[in-house]
Amino acid sequence: MTTYTDEYMDGLRLKGDELADATVEALFGSGEVARFNTLMRWFTTSGQALPEGLPDAASDYLRATATPPEWVDWGVMEQARRFFIDNDVHISTALSFAAMPACYLVPHGAALLSATHSLNYPSRRMAETGQFTVYLMQPSAFEAGGRFLPAAQKVRLLHASIRRHLRQEGRWPEPVPICQEDMLGALMMFSVQVLDALHRLGVHMTTDGAEAYYYAWRVVGTILGCDPATIPPDLRAAREFSDRYMIRHMGPSPEGAHLTRQLIQMYEEVVPGTVLDPVVPALIRFLVGDTAADWLEVPRSGWDSLTKIAPALLGALERFEDRGLWASQLSDRLGRLVTVLELSSLTRGRVMHYAIPEELKRDYGVPSGSARWTPPPPIDPVIVHRA
Amino acid sequence: MGRDGDVRPQDEVVYLVAGLADLVMGGMRDATRRLPGLTAVREELRARGELALKRTGPSSEAHMEVLARRVAERNSHG
């Protein structure tokens, strides 16, 4: 059985996100992007009145996307939330060290991420993804006062604007940047591939839990502008789409290796001390395997064999949790603390705003034809000493 | 090591802590060798570690490894 043929996937490469693309086009056409971004900084929660003075195209879009899809089964979403809470540390680990490297394994994806990466603040993308996931898993994510939907509405426009910039500047070799196939591919990385990583880490999952987690990402995909008719309906279909997508596109690239190096460095900065530094590359290697890790130029270290005990340690922790309520509460709290610390060290306490970039160069540090200004190097240490 | 099933979960935590201590005291290995109590603990911990790895260690490879090898093979043929 092959549902996802090459012809089918090729068709998805020609589609963007009509609604968001049209909205962004209208905003740029009337020169209202800056005003929109300013007004939208105060628009952060569902049910909040739209800011006065919003351009028409923007308010139409915000109204059309203000509610989650009608077909959402809220019982399954609640199951997904519990699955996320039970496994928060493991899921964060899988997102950082399996899903992000998987994005870098797709050369054209790596090229896009590296073209839109903030050079001043490389961890920004991780912070944005992290905060997005935390918003998603709040009990009130989709209710009035929830922060998830407004964040998703902004992310969808952000994607549309990057699509527009790259297309306009003729910097994308294909007809559509961030096409439907790539959006679905990314959705697979954050869903079924995260479950692969949890499995590899020895995390015990129930079928219902895993399916609910996938269901939540189907909802997220729809909200972020994937065509719901094309999102694989269950984990079996997701497996097929995910594998087909990776086999079609995965491979080594200089951008992929560069982004991986940045990811590793970022975690080395976040984790205090240097003793644990080699753990991150070892963990990535363990989760994505040697062939892919070599493509990404993940350094080898003596920790590589040691990482193999991670499943044993996690297994012991799970059996400790099974000991009773106090043990599981203690370990839950530790988990929550780790997730919060991990995220707040990335966001540095900031709320991410997902503004529409007016131009890629200024907002995302994309190098243009002219040379980039860099701060002068520090003055000569000898002179400092004499002074 | 047939008594593995009888070990209570909190003992497991004790062993893990002991394992950490063993790592920390790596530099004092000679000194600890002379203490029969600690040597016994270390041997027990090592044996338990082996068992735990056999019990929970991943039997297969990373999923991505299988896909990557397939791609590498395809590229080498084409």
Instruction: Report residue A374's pLDDT band, with 50, 70 and 90 as the boundaries.
Output: very low
Mean pLDDT of A81-98: 86
Half-sphere exposure of A223 (CA within 13 A, CB side): 26
Instruction: Report residue B17's pLDDT band, with 50, 70 and 90 as the boundaries.
Output: low
The answer, yes or no, to whether residue A220 has pLDDT greater than 60, is yes
The answer, yes or no, to whether residue A336 has pLDDT greater than 80, is no
The answer, yes or no, to whether residue A377 has pLDDT greater than 60, is no
Name the residue among B60, B64, B36, B40 with its Cα closest to residue A298.
B64
Rounded distance, CA A34 to CA A357, Å?
9
Mean pLDDT of A334-342: 55
Mean pLDDT of B2-17: 54
Query: Distance from A37 to chain B by nearest Cα, in Å?
Result: 39
State ipTM: 0.77
Instruction: Report residue B41's pLDDT band, with 50, 70 and 90 as the boundaries.
Output: confident
Q: Indicate the length of chain A as a whole number.
A: 387
Alpha-carbon distances, residue A305 vs A8, A74, A308, B53 (angstroms) = 41, 42, 6, 12
Rounded distance, CA A194 to CA A98, Å?
7
Residue A196 makes CB contacts below 8 A (sequence gap 6+) with: A98, B62, B63, B64
CB contact under 8 A, B62 and A323: no
Instruction: Report residue A141's pLDDT band, with 50, 70 and 90 as the boundaries.
Output: confident
pLDDT digits (tens, 9 = 90+) for A24-42: 999 999 998 888 888 888 8
One-letter identity of residue A245: Y
The lowest-confidence range among A132-141, A147-156, A167-176, A354-363 is A354-363
Instruction: Report residue A257's pLDDT band, with 50, 70 and 90 as the boundaries.
Output: very high
The lowest-confidence range among A185-194, A274-283, A300-309 is A300-309
Structure-token match 């079924």, residue found: A192
Query: Distance from A335 to chain B by nearest Cα, in Å?
Result: 17
CB contact under 8 A, A312 and B68: no
Rounded distance, CA A329 to CA A86, Å?
11
Asked if the C-beta of B36 comes within 8 angstroms of chain A's C-beta atoms, the answer is: no
Rounded distance, CA A287 to CA A95, Å?
11
CB contact under 8 A, A312 and B49: yes
Most confident of A154-168, A295-309, A362-376, B53-67: A154-168
Q: Cα A134 from chain centroid?
A: 12
Residue A365: per-residue pLDDT: 44
Rounded distance, CA A11 to CA A227, Å?
13
The lowest-confidence range among A12-16, A88-92, A176-180, B63-67 is A88-92
Which residue of B lies nearest to A204 if distances are taken between CA atoms?
B56
CB pairs under 8 A between A and B: 87
One-letter identity of residue A146: G
- Per the CB < 8 A criterion, the answer to whether A99 and A344 are in contact is no
Asked if the C-beta of A292 comes within 8 angstroms of chain B's C-beta atoms, the answer is: yes
Nearest to A200 among B55, B58, B75 (CB): B58
Half-sphere exposure of B47 (CA within 13 A, CB side): 10
Asked if the C-beta of A189 comes within 8 angstroms of chain B's C-beta atoms, the answer is: no
Residues 47-66 (B) with a CB less than 8 A from some CB of A: 49, 52-53, 55-58, 61-66
The lowest-confidence range among A55-69, A109-123, A313-327, B48-62 is A313-327
Residue A202 makes CB contacts below 8 A (sequence gap 6+) with: A310, A311, A312, A314, A315, B56, B57, B58
Instruction: Report residue A201's pLDDT band, with 50, 70 and 90 as the boundaries.
Output: confident
Nearest to A102 among B55, B58, B64 (CB): B64
The answer, yes or no, to whether residue A385 has pLDDT greater than 50, is no
The answer, yes or no, to whether residue A137 has pLDDT greater than 60, is yes
The answer, yes or no, to whether residue A368 has pLDDT greater than 90, is no
Most confident of A14-18, A92-96, B44-48, B54-58: A14-18
Residue A218: per-residue pLDDT: 96
One-letter identity of residue A280: V
CB contact under 8 A, A250 and B67: yes
CB contact under 8 A, B65 and A291: yes
The answer, yes or no, to whether residue A373 has pLDDT greater than 50, is no
Residue B50: per-residue pLDDT: 65
Element (H, E) at A138: none
Return the sign of the alpha-carbon dihedral for residues A86, A89, A92, A95.
Answer: negative
Mean pLDDT of A253-265: 90
CB contact under 8 A, A312 and B52: yes
Rounded distance, CA A88 to CA B34, Å?
43
Name the residue among A360, A331, A372 with its Cα closest to residue A89.
A331
For residues A20, A26, A28, A31, the Cα torsion angle rounded to the nearest 10 degrees is -140
Instruction: Report residue B33's pLDDT band, with 50, 70 and 90 as the boundaries.
Output: low
Mean pLDDT of A220-230: 95
Which chain A residues are within 8 Å of B16, Cβ to Cβ?
A: 313, 316
Largest Cα–Cα distance of chain A, in whole Å? 76
Asked if the C-beta of A288 comes within 8 angstroms of chain B's C-beta atoms, the answer is: yes
b/e sequence A125-159, b meaning 16+ C-beta within 10 Å: bbbbbbbbbbbbbeeebbeeebbbbbbbbbbbbbb
Query: Distance from A365 to chain B by nearest Cα, in Å?
Result: 31
Percent of chain A with pLDDT over 90: 40
- Per the CB < 8 A criterion, the answer to whether A128 and A340 are in contact is no
Rounded distance, CA A237 to CA A241, Å?
6
Structure-token match 């990057």, residue found: A162
Nearest to B52 among A196, A315, A322 (CB): A315
Mean pLDDT of all residues belonging to chain A: 80
Interior CA angle at A210 toward A208 and A214, to 5°? 110
Asked if the C-beta of B3 comes within 8 angstroms of chain A's C-beta atoms, the answer is: no
CB contact under 8 A, B62 and A288: yes
Query: Distance from A2 to chain B by nearest Cα, in Å?
Result: 17
The answer, yes or no, to whether residue B4 has pLDDT greater than 50, is no
Mean pLDDT of A212-222: 94
Residue A337: per-residue pLDDT: 55
Which residue of A lies nearest to B62 if distances are taken between CA atoms?
A289
Please tell me which residue, A306 or A339, carries the higher pLDDT value: A306
Neighbours of A169 (CB within 10 A): 13
**What are the structure tokens assigned to B42, written together?**
């270390």
Which chain A residues are within 8 Å of B49, Cβ to Cβ?
A: 309, 312
Please report, in angstroms and rounded to a whole number, the separation of the first and last CA atoms in chain B: 52
Residue A350 makes CB contacts below 8 A (sequence gap 6+) with: A127
Rounded distance, CA A10 to CA A345, Å?
40
Residue A386: per-residue pLDDT: 38
Rounded distance, CA A196 to CA B51, Å?
24
Mean pLDDT of A152-162: 90
